[in-house]
Amino acid sequence: MGILKPSNTSAELKRAREQREIDRLRNRSAREAAKAKQIEAKADARLARNERYRAVTEAREAHGGAAIVICSIEELPKSGRKTPPNKAAKKLGGSRTPAKAATSRKTAPAKPSKTKRR
């Protein structure tokens, strides 16, 4: 009696084997699909790189070797100090920068006033 297995157990085992085989095939197909996507992405990147290279080459040929043509644009209004540093230094009388001139004026000892003599 112990040697023979009930038929429902063998059916369950058969179903489990079939399910394992189905899962294995699905897993393999998922890996293959991921690999195919990766290969496709690499091919797209290669095509984009070749397209950029071709565009730069055409631009160089059209402009005599320059990949980028620099165009002239009008100057933007400047903000901040209106007097350039070299002109400010000339006004102060010397080749010092305005920052150095200002600090030297602050640190110089004050002269005694002539009206308060003792």
- pLDDT by residue (tens digit) across 39-95? 999 999 999 999 999 988 888 888 777 766 666 667 766 666 666 666 655 666 655
Residue 75 C-beta-side C-alpha neighbours within 13 Å: 3
Residue 99 Cα distances to 85, 88, 95, 103, 104, angstroms: 9, 10, 12, 6, 9
pLDDT at 22: 92
Contact between residue 94 and residue 101 where contact means Cβ atoms under 8 Å apart: yes
* pLDDT per residue as tens digits for the range 3-40: 665 566 788 889 999 999 999 999 999 999 999 999 99
φ and ψ at 16, to 5 degrees? -65, -40
Nearest to 99 by CA among 87, 91, 109, 89: 89
